[in-house]
Amino acid sequence: MDTLINYSKKYGFVFQGSAIYGGLANTWDYGPLGVELKKNLKDTWWKRFVQEHPRVVGLDSSILLNPKTWEASGHFDQFNDPLIDCKSCKSRFRVDKMIEGHDASIDADGMDVAALEKIIKEKHIPCPSCGAHEFTPIRRFNLMFETSQGVVDDSKDSIYLRPETAQGIFLDFKDVQRATRMKVPFGIAQIGKSFRNEITPGNFIFRTREFEQMELEFFYKPKATKNWFDIWKHASMQYLYDIGLPEASLRFKDHPKEKLSHYSDATTDIEFKFPWGYDEMWGIASRRDFDIRQHQKHSGEKLHYQDPVTNEKYIPYVIEPSLGVERLFLAVLANAYEEEALEDGQTRTVLKIHPALAPYKVAVLPLIKKRHREEAKRVQVKLAKHFMTTYDESAQIGRRYRRQDAIGTPLALTIDDTTLEEGTYTLRNRDTMEQVTLKEEALIDYIENSINF
């Protein structure tokens, strides 16, 4: 993790938030390369699950929702973590994580307060910070960020930053269906910010209070003949394979029935083997008709679907594949980062990232700055209309190749005397380090074919 964190800062993927003021715990800024990688992750997800999917449309719902939304969804009552304070050092901990940190064989997630207190007592679990054994009683802490609407700070005007993007989709379900004339089964996809007041964020960008979700709600008829849950499980896993994550680092983990969320009758996580071990990256949940039925009840609006052929009315069931952008970002970096030993005894840092995800698709490098700069600049301007490009004219060409290897640029275009004399360009491949020579008219098609997803 230290290597990845240092790498991310050095090359401009991720910076500490508010660093000049000493930072703000668990806030991160995405630099020039990081913002491109995030964009490419979101673009490939959208391409796969919206653009290429005939039964999915997009949405961008508001971050601020009517507070009644969270009453209906159960977030006021159910969306909380068990917290405990050490009386000695005043440190605060999420109890289930504290227990699991002491004994990895215990799965404390979802346990009630009495069960958690019993384990702490029987296992004689110490404070992770100071080793003391005196704790406050366990209490439940709601994870939603509260703010005020309007110019006066009044409890009547309290609203909340959304803890998930899903509820905005459920609120707009009927309007989207009417506007698009989509027939069940169909899905609504959304990419957006969510906020959770996590008490124990950590592992770099893995668990943060501000994060992005790529979330999809797929609506289908209850008792459908197709097993939509399995279909979406495997479609989600296939996407991860296709962006370059290896099968050996991924696995499904089914939630036991006794630990399912209040809205779910089946949930499976896709876990990735992060530097600290397997952990959740993508959740696929069968939410049944819980959300739409709750919003229909609390709002008084009719939210059922009417089949245009049979005129049958029903509230559809829902499958929800929900993926965190930052967790996927970290998984991609962890998987792609290599320190590769070369035949000449040297070592190169290389980010073997899928070309479609690479921040820059091609680097334009004049072999000799004074002689080849003008042509290199001209070509860069042309290519930049089609791809994210970068330009580098400092240091010897070998060092410039290494810089591009380190940030994952799949192709390096060298401008040399042959370019000026014969009109040919040399393209070097990041992974194989092999080179091809092409005429200018072939460059765009070659690069396009090399980076396709």
- Rounded CA separation 170/290 (Å): 10
- Rounded CA separation 123/195 (Å): 34
- At 154, the pLDDT band (50, 70, 90 cuts) reads low
Confidence at residue 142, expressed as pLDDT on a 0 to 100 scale: 83
pLDDT at 177 over 90: yes
Measured in whole angstroms, the distance separating CA 164 from the mean position of its chain's CA atoms is: 13
Number of other CB atoms surrounding residue 156 within 10 Å: 8
Tokens 């289908």 map to which residue? 220
Render pLDDT for 230-268 as a digit per residue (tens, 0 to 9): 999 999 999 999 999 999 999 999 999 888 887 889 999
Evaluate whether 432 touches 412 at the Cβ level (below 8 Å): no
CATH code: domain 360-451 is: 3.40.50.800
The mean of the pLDDT values for the chain is 94
- At 18, the pLDDT band (50, 70, 90 cuts) reads very high
Confidence at residue 208, expressed as pLDDT on a 0 to 100 scale: 93
- At 380, the pLDDT band (50, 70, 90 cuts) reads very high
Which residues belong to CATH 3.30.40.230 in the chain? 80-142
Residue type, 330: L
Render pLDDT for 41-88 as a digit per residue (tens, 0 to 9): 999 999 999 999 999 999 999 999 999 999 999 988 778 889 999 999
Fold of 80-142: Herpes Virus-1 (3.30.40)
> How long, in residues, is the chain?
453
- Rounded CA separation 278/272 (Å): 5
CATH code: domain 2-64+146-334 is: 3.30.930.10
Which residues belong to CATH 3.30.930.10 in the chain? 2-64+146-334
Confidence at residue 314, expressed as pLDDT on a 0 to 100 scale: 97
- Rounded CA separation 364/85 (Å): 56
